[in-house]
Structure 1
Amino acid sequence: MIPARYAASRFPGKLMQDLNGKTVILRTYEAAKNTGLFQEVYVVTDSEVIYSEITENGGKGIMSKKEHECGSDRIAEAVEEMDVDIVVNVQGDEPMIDKESLVKVLEVFRGKDAAKIDLASLKAPLQDWKDVENPNNVKVITNKEDFALYFSRSPIPYPRDENAGVTWFKHIGIYAFRKQALLDFQRLPMLKLEASEKIEAIRYLEYGKNIKMVETTVKGVGIDTPEDLERARQLLS
């Protein structure tokens, strides 16, 4: 499932921007299809423009029936009546999907921790302090079993001791959910931590869900700004 909103606050209309001959959302849809990992791939949107872009290019789209605050809510509505077990959320602004990383996320549902995993996601190490400080990069900290403890736009952990040998990790916005975790999410009200950070993954933590984090070295190219779009164009070229 690829949740797609036209009116993004930081870069309105970014999903319909040209990315070397195709729109960002179409490139993301095709990249998800081309992994060969999924029975079905859908773009779930509230935008007639995005829906038409996908369906007119041979893809599958679902129009949301309600207003939604975040991608998880949008996907939960779309899958409520579907007979599915695991649902993968690929962000519409992540057109350079890495198949190897997706495979790693899906494999945890067959691993030793599978029974206690409600959802899984990706993290990638950050090397540059500017990237750690950048609030557009959501950071994550985990316990020794790689379950998420917290997500933040601030640098976490804070480097009070610069010699502690800490690695900072960026949260990569690809999730694999158990269907029930998604249905529970849409019924639970937003609490203060999520409202403050504007990070939907925090709601799962606040209500006791277990998020397994999988490390990858592929950071992808999330398109949050016009500068990100230009970087993506250069990489594709």
Structure 2
Amino acid sequence: MVLGLIPARYASTRLPGKPLVDLGGQSMIQRVVAQARQARLSRVVVATDDERIRRHVEEFGGEAVLTRPDHPSGTDRLWEAFQQLGSPADVHCIVNIQGDEPFIHPAQINALADLFGDEATAPDIATLVKPVVTAEELFSPHLPKVVLNQRGQALYFSRHPLPFQRQHAPAEWLAQHRYLRHLGLYAYRPRVLEQLTRLPVSSLEAAESLEQLRWLEAGYQIQCAETELEAFGIDTPEDVDKARARLAS
């Protein structure tokens, strides 16, 4: 059984009440749930810290659980939600679907879920990567980059372009190397998700402000699946305007 969990916080510094923002007649969280339901998931549940979001999800026919408001990360919120659901023994994979990506494609979710099809070879953690196609992407600190080993496992994540090309000017880097971006969609074995919530903040995580570095420092392997599909997260009022324009076109 593959369980899709969607963390959705009400508080947001740049966009308070973000999950409830209207996008073309539907809330953002409603659109995320609708996209997730098209993937090969056995169940889709929203994990929220706010009664307004829980009530809204149930009103449009979704399933939601109310979690503590003080979780330091979405990972911790997911683990509490899984426990509230009774920690079903038949769940072999939990997919963490970002609650602020109303255009998440079901194929992106399936790409991770498929890695867990054979429990004997399934990874502990999996995530998505996408080829970098523009210099703006490459040098944006808001779009983490990742380097992989020959088995498709993450070696390191950074907000800086990796690798640094000593022999070439930065303007030439994209033509000289195939760079990869990290997309914030994760999947885990349930027992691994529990273990991740017990790890302390690591030095690399603190330096880059990337939670997945905590897992790498602790010795966990992160298998990566590649997608050509774009991600569109909503963090600001300007992003909301772009999303509405996209829906209206």
Alignment RMSD (CA, Å)? 2.0
- Specify whether residues 101 and 181 from structure 1 end up closer, same or farther in structure 2 by C-alpha distance, changes over 3 A only: same
Residue 31, structure 1, aligned to residue 50, structure 2: no
Distance 1:156 1:9 in 2: 29
**1:78-157 to 2 correspondences below 5 Å:** 78-80=81-83, 81-83=86-88, 84-110=91-117, 114-115=121-122, 117-157=123-163
Distance 1:223 1:169 in 2: 21
Farther off after superposition, 101-110 or 171-180: 101-110
Distance 1:176 1:110 in 2: 12
Aligned length: 235
Q: 1:127 aligns to what SS in structure 2?
A: coil
Distance 1:94 1:205 in 2: 25
Q: CA deviation at 1:222?
A: 1.1
1:169 to 180, 187, 192: 180
Deviation per CA, 1:164-220: give whole Å up to 9, x if none. 721222211111111011000111111122123222211211111111011100012
Distance 1:89 1:229 in 2: 22
- Specify whether residues 48 and 160 from structure 1 end up closer, same or farther in structure 2 by C-alpha distance, changes over 3 A only: farther
Q: 2:230 aligns to what SS in structure 1?
A: coil
Q: CA deviation at 1:8?
A: 2.5
Distance 1:204 1:189 in 2: 10
Farther off after superposition, 210-219 or 56-65: 56-65
- Specify whether residues 49 and 11 from structure 1 end up closer, same or farther in structure 2 by C-alpha distance, changes over 3 A only: same
Farther off after superposition, 184-193 or 9-18: 9-18
Deviation per CA, 1:48-98: give whole Å up to 9, x if none. 222122112111111113621111111011213412210001000111121
Aligned to 2:233: 222
Distance 1:77 1:28 in 2: 20
**1:58-97 to 2 correspondences below 5 Å:** 58-65=61-68, 67-80=70-83, 81-83=86-88, 84-97=91-104
User: Which runs of 5 or more structure 1 residues have no equivalent in the other structure?
Assistant: none
Deviation per CA, 1:76-121: give whole Å up to 9, x if none. 1121341221000100011112122222212222469925x21111
**Identity percentage of aligned residues:** 38
Farther off after superposition, 98-107 or 172-181: 98-107
AA partner of residue 121 (structure 2): A
Aligned to 2:15: 11
2:32 touches 2:103 (CA, 8 Å); kept in 1? yes
1:197 to 171, 194, 208: 208
Distance 1:68 1:102 in 2: 24
Q: 1:96 aligns to what SS in structure 2?
A: coil
